[in-house]
A = this chain, B = another copy of it.
């Protein structure tokens, strides 16, 4: 069962409502949202999320949205529509299709094996770019740190990171804040013990 601690005390956004309706909290702090976010995709929800990300970062003169394949792509696209900027998605693993001139970063993964490489072609990140990172989940923060390294190598500016779902009880969010990144989440989950999802009230 999912519930919201202070239901009704302040308005929830579309993603929070949907998590409570269709998300599944499983043992081991696993939140399954694959009926609407990262396996099956509800386009109407993504559009609402895109608008919410825009509201969070609209004053930042974003020129490009950067994400990582695969489940960040759709979310990034619908945010990009509101900002009217292109999306670039970093490729995972072998990047021979990207070409020889790439920025790369090693990403340590807690769920998918020891580590993997991400790559972005040098053609699509420039020193004048003001980059917003968008991703579906923030838990340990390693993917965002990898993207930050790539943005730094390009000499571009990292304006912030817009995360759909942040597991605020895991170390990633604080790690990114410590790295100077303006992290904002549509749904920051404070705890999910016994299958009860509790959102932090500032998200």
**A residues near B, CB below 8 A?**
32, 34-35, 39-43, 46, 69-71, 73-74, 77-78, 80-81, 86-89, 91-92, 94, 97-99, 111-112, 120-121, 123-124
Task: Determine whether the beta carbon of B40 is less than 8 Å from that of A87.
Answer: yes
Task: Determine whether the beta carbon of A77 is less than 8 Å from that of B46.
Answer: yes
In the bound complex, what is the Cα–Cα distance between A94 and B87 (angstroms)?
26
Q: Nearest chain B CB to A40's CB is how many angstroms away?
A: 5
Among A78, A81, A89, A98, max chain B CB count under 10 A is at A89
Residues of chain B within 8 A of A86, CB atoms compared: 40-43
Residues of chain B within 8 A of A99, CB atoms compared: 32, 34
CB-based closest 7 A-B pairs: A69-B70, A70-B70, A41-B87, A40-B124, A73-B73, A40-B88, A74-B77
Task: Determine whether the beta carbon of B39 is less than 8 Å from that of A121.
Answer: yes
Residues of chain B within 8 A of A41, CB atoms compared: 73, 77, 80, 86-89
Residues of chain B within 8 A of A124, CB atoms compared: 34-35, 39-40
Residues of chain B within 8 A of A35, CB atoms compared: 123-124
